[in-house]
Structure 1
Amino acid sequence: MKTIRIGAGSGFGGDRIEPAVELAEKGALDYLVFECLAERTIALAQQARLQDPNAGYDRLLDERMRAVLPVCRRSHVRIVSNMGAANPAAAAQAIASIGRDLGYAGLKIAYVLGDDVLGQVRETSPALTDGPGAFADIADRAISANAYLGVAPIVEALAGGADVVITGRVGDPALFMAPLAHEFGWREDDWERLGRGALIGHLLECGSQLTGGYFADPGVKDVADLARLGFPLAEVDADGGALFSKVEGSGGELSLRTCKEQLLYEVHDPARYIQPDVVADFTSARFEQVGPNRVRLSGGGGSPRTDSLKVTIGHHDGFIGEGQISYAGAGAEARARLALAIVEERLRMLGVAVSELRLDVIGVDSVYRGPRPDAEVLDVRARVAGRTASLQDAQRIGREVEAVWINGPAGGGGATWSARQVVAAASALLPRSLIAPTVHWLEA
């Protein structure tokens, strides 16, 4: 039976690059997929594009492509990625330029447009499924709206002979499902196989989380050689069965326990995992360890897709001002708490309008606020962070922390501060009939 080998080249925008090169060199791949977008990432990319029309795609695109294109060309590995973010056209132009630099005349690049639906959102003003109130409440602050597209435009690009396919926002599993649908000719209403494809894509989309990354816990879940963590690949058959593995000799672990954790990652209802192409059902999935770092997947299914697509709306949401200062030695925690009390009182005195305020002693209660040992803490960092409506108030928060350096407790040092505009994300649903993806072409 024909099988297709797909490797996960990244699990987020800032991921390591050398494991992807290792996969391309030693994984006998047909496809290498780079998944690089998070919920807020594309809103931030849209903000960058507003400042520079040639920006807005993944910051590591150039480095990644220069690293993997040579081996992918030699080994006939096709690349699929959402590194286009807010600007797939500019990303494709950049890849074409890299191809010319590397001497790859005829490199065929396809890019997908149509996920940018800010115009449709403004026209229809859909209800928000999460976020602040209604779209009308954030309309004047909205900077982006991107729909989660499905496999169809990627399949079209692959059918047209693309060596590299670049998208903006698509469903993460769709990046992996599309090569399978293309190679095996899966129909758009083959819910069983599409559901299995979504399951495979879900397991691969976070890259090294399947091979021990974001999993290790010393003494509880030990994972070997994390500094050389290998990224996963799947050998998939026409019915959606898969064998997961990693490159021989690479670090990490691919096992029943890593697969089970990733299966449940960010899944609210495993019987109804809603994707653009299918509502996947993971409840019949079965894993079998068939060798060291080799796990076979069977089962999974799906039901008809929904009539709407999820849209992530990026919007400005005020400013955050932050300041930090360190205290060490005997009484460090008490001095840090005194510094926080001084800054809190100063902000009240000055009338700084703060809608949310956090006062943390990092190393004591900044993340985990439960019971702790009674031993004295000798090295802490006081942190003040507040949300404001104006940049000036956000800056004042940080400046007050800096001022406590010599106007507060003894022994403070290493004061830093910053102020930044907040880009927040809200979600809505749009009828898929309002969204029309298109495929465009370039050659190096």
Structure 2
Amino acid sequence: MRTVRIGAGAGYSGDRIEPALELAGHGALDFLVFECLAERTVALAQLARQRNAEAGFDPYLAERLQTVLPACIAHGTRIVTNMGAANPLAAAREAARIARSLGLKLRIAAITGDDVTDLVRARPESPLVETQGVVGDVADRMISANAYLGAWPVADALAGGADLVITGRIGDPAMFLAPIAHSFGWPRDDWRRLGCGTAVGHMLECAGQVTGGYYADPGLKDVEGLARLGFPLAEVAEDGTAVITKVAGSGGRVDAAICAEQLLYEVHDPARYMQPDLVADFSRVTLAYAGADRVTLAGATGTAPTDTLKVSIGYRDSFVGEGEISYRGEGAGARAALAIAIVRERLELTAAPITELHVDIVGREPGEVRIRVAGRAATSRDAARIGREVEALYTNGPAAGGGARSVVREVIAVVSTLIDRALVETSTTWIGT
């Protein structure tokens, strides 16, 4: 039976790059997928795009492509990635520039349409999914609203001859389902096999998590070679069954226990895992030993998708102010406690509009004790008052304080809503080198 080999080159934006090169060079892959987009990442990317029209894509796109493109082109490996983030078109242009600098010919497809900010703003009555309330509650602070696209725009781009497909927000498993379904010509309503492909995608989407990363627990679940952890690949058969494995000799391991943890990761209901292309059912999945670092994945299925797509909304929530200072030597603990009491009283005396005040004490006598005071405020100026009060302890607090620092950071929060899938239109832009 014919198989397709597909590898996971990243599980998040800041992931290691060396394992992807290992896969590109030694994995004998048909496809290499870089999954780099978290919910909050899109909103941050949208802020970057607002500052610079040619920004808003993954900051490591250039480094990743410069590293893996030569090996991928040499071995005939095609790339799918959501590193387009808030600006897939600019990402595609940057990818073309990199390919030209390497002397490589590349056919690039940029898929857009996930940005549904205007559609969501126009529907303030739409309920939020995870929390009480409606879109109108955050509309005036909204930064971005991106629908989770499905596999078929990517599959169509691959059918059109794309060597590299760049998207924005897309369902994580859909990035893997797309090249698998394209390779085998699966019908778009073959829910059983699409469920199998979705299970493969879910298994690979977090990269190193299925080779022992985020699993290791010394003495309980030991994993060797985490410093040179290899990323996973799947050998997928036309009937949807797959073997999860990794490049021979790479660090980490693949076994049924690790795969089982990943299978349940972020899945609320294994029998109804809602994705853009179908409602997947993992409740009858089997994981079987198929040799060293080889696990057979089978038994997934699915049903038709819902009429809606999930939309991730990023919005400006608040500001967090922090202040830290250290005390050392005999009596350091008592001086740290006094410092905390002073800061609390100062914030009360000045009626600082601070909520959710938290205090941490790190260390113990006779060494160094460091305090951290943090709280939330509606404005940057109010949040900064926390750090100012902590720094004021230099000359207005206990003896021998040092190493004070303060910081204010904006909190970008995420909520979700649903949108009629018929309203979401995708578009593919082609760029060649």
What's the counterpart of residue 345 of structure 2? 345
| 1:148 Cα deviation from its structure 2 partner | 0.3
Does residue 103 in structure 1 map to residue 92 in structure 2? no
1:203 corresponds to which letter in structure 2? M
1:409 corresponds to which letter in structure 2? P
What's the counterpart of residue 294 of structure 2? 294
Counterparts of 2:217 and 2:383 in 1: how far apart (Å)?
37
For the residue of structure 2 that corresponds to 1:128, the secondary structure is: coil
Counterparts of 1:139 and 1:327 in 2: how far apart (Å)?
45
Percent sequence identity over matched residues? Answer: 59
Counterparts of 1:31 and 1:61 in 2: how far apart (Å)?
17
Contact 1:333 1:378 in 2 (8 A): no
Contact 1:324 1:417 in 2 (8 A): yes
Contact 2:84 2:92 in 1 (8 A): yes
TM-score, structure 2 normalization: 0.97
Q: How does 1:229-378 map to 2 (within 5 A)?
A: 229-362=229-362, 378=367
Deviations 1:281-334 (A, max 9, x none): 111111111221111111111111010000011111121111122334444444
Counterparts of 1:258 and 1:246 in 2: how far apart (Å)?
13
Q: Cα gap change, 1:403/1:214 in structure 2, threshold over 3 Å: closer, same or farther?
A: same
Contact 2:329 2:365 in 1 (8 A): no
What's the counterpart of residue 403 of structure 2? 414
Contact 2:123 2:135 in 1 (8 A): no
1:397 corresponds to which letter in structure 2? I
Contact 1:213 1:226 in 2 (8 A): yes
What's the counterpart of residue 186 of structure 2? 186
TM-score, structure 1 normalization: 0.95
For the residue of structure 1 that corresponds to 2:221, the secondary structure is: coil
Deviations 1:384-434 (A, max 9, x none): 111111111111111111222343233432221111222111100001011
Deviations 1:244-266 (A, max 9, x none): 11111111111111111111111
What's the counterpart of residue 424 of structure 2? 435
| 1:337 Cα deviation from its structure 2 partner | 2.8
Counterparts of 1:272 and 1:132 in 2: how far apart (Å)?
23
| 1:152 Cα deviation from its structure 2 partner | 1.1
1:425 alignment partner, one of 414, 417, 426: 414
| 1:350 Cα deviation from its structure 2 partner | 1.6
What's the counterpart of residue 370 of structure 1? none
Contact 1:309 1:431 in 2 (8 A): yes
What's the counterpart of residue 117 of structure 1? 116
Q: Which of 32-41 and 290-299 deviates more?
A: 290-299
Counterparts of 2:208 and 2:321 in 1: how far apart (Å)?
34
Counterparts of 1:409 and 1:222 in 2: how far apart (Å)?
46
Contact 1:325 1:402 in 2 (8 A): yes
Structure 1 residues not aligned, in runs of 5+: 364-374
Counterparts of 1:326 and 1:246 in 2: how far apart (Å)?
46
What's the counterpart of residue 35 of structure 1? 35
Contact 1:331 1:378 in 2 (8 A): no
> CA-atom RMSD, angstroms?
1.4
What's the counterpart of residue 69 of structure 1? 69
2:373 alignment partner, one of 373, 379, 384: 384
Q: Cα gap change, 1:267/1:379 in structure 2, threshold over 3 Å: closer, same or farther?
A: farther
| 1:376 Cα deviation from its structure 2 partner | 6.2
What's the counterpart of residue 3 of structure 1? 3
1:425 corresponds to which letter in structure 2? V
Contact 1:316 1:423 in 2 (8 A): yes
What's the counterpart of residue 142 of structure 2? 142
Q: Which of 202-211 and 343-352 deviates more?
A: 343-352
Counterparts of 1:253 and 1:379 in 2: how far apart (Å)?
40
For the residue of structure 2 that corresponds to 1:124, the secondary structure is: coil
Counterparts of 1:76 and 1:392 in 2: how far apart (Å)?
54
Deviations 1:184-209 (A, max 9, x none): 11111111111111111111000000
1:94 corresponds to which letter in structure 2? E
2:371 corresponds to which letter in structure 1? A
Contact 1:58 1:84 in 2 (8 A): yes
Q: Cα gap change, 1:359/1:156 in structure 2, threshold over 3 Å: closer, same or farther?
A: same
Counterparts of 1:134 and 1:394 in 2: how far apart (Å)?
27
Counterparts of 2:275 and 2:365 in 1: how far apart (Å)?
50
| 1:116 Cα deviation from its structure 2 partner | 0.1
Counterparts of 1:178 and 1:416 in 2: how far apart (Å)?
48
Counterparts of 2:17 and 2:156 in 1: how far apart (Å)?
28
What's the counterpart of residue 391 of structure 2? 402
Contact 1:131 1:425 in 2 (8 A): no
How many residue pairs match? The answer is 432
What's the counterpart of residue 220 of structure 1? 220
Q: Which of 409-418 and 312-321 deviates more?
A: 409-418
Deviations 1:106-133 (A, max 9, x none): x100010000000100112221112462
| 1:177 Cα deviation from its structure 2 partner | 0.3
Counterparts of 2:119 and 2:12 in 1: how far apart (Å)?
28
Q: Cα gap change, 1:204/1:330 in structure 2, threshold over 3 Å: closer, same or farther?
A: farther
Structure 2 residues not aligned, in runs of 5+: none
